[in-house]
Amino acid sequence: MPERIYNFSPGPATLPFSVLEEAARDIVNFKDRGIGLIELSHRSKEFMAVADETESLIRELLDVPANYKVLFLQGGASSQFFMIPMNLLGPGKKATYLNTGVWSKKAIKEAENFGDITVAYSSADVSFNRVPEDTEYTVSPDSEYLYLVSNNTIYGTQFSSFPQKDAMLVCDMSSDILSRPLDISKFGIIFAGAQKNMGPAGVTVVIIREDLLDKVAENVPTMLKYKTHADKGSMFNTPPTFAIYCVGRVMHWLKNQGGVAAMQRINEEKAALIYKIIDSGDFYRGHAEKTSRSMMNIAFNLPTPELEAQFINEAAAIGLDGLKGHRSIGGCRASIYNAFPIEGVKKLVDFMARFSADNS
Active site residues: 103, 172, 196
C-alpha to C-alpha distance for 13 and 77, rounded to whole angstroms: 15
Which candidate, 224, 176, 238, 185, places its Cα nearest to that of 207? Answer: 185
Helix ranges restricted to H, 28-177: 45-62, 76-88, 102-111
Q: Which long-range contacts (CB under 8 A, 24 or more apart) does 15-23 make?
A: 15/199, 15/200, 15/246, 15/250, 15/339, 16/249, 16/250, 16/253, 16/339, 18/253, 19/199, 19/246, 19/249, 19/250, 19/253, 19/339, 22/249, 23/242, 23/245, 23/246, 23/249
Torsion sign over Cα 308, 309, 310, 311: positive
Torsion sign over Cα 275, 307, 281, 132: negative
CA count, 13 A, side-chain hemisphere, 49: 7
User: What single-letter DSSP state applies at residue 324?
Assistant: B
Torsion sign over Cα 65, 256, 203, 245: negative
Burial letters 2-18, b for 16+ CB under 10 A, else e:
eeeebbbbbbebbbbee
- The C-alpha angle 47, 81, 132, rounded to 5 degrees, equals 120
CB atoms within 10 A of CB 324: 20
Three-state DSSP class for residue 25: helix
CA-based diameter of the chain, in Å?
Answer: 65
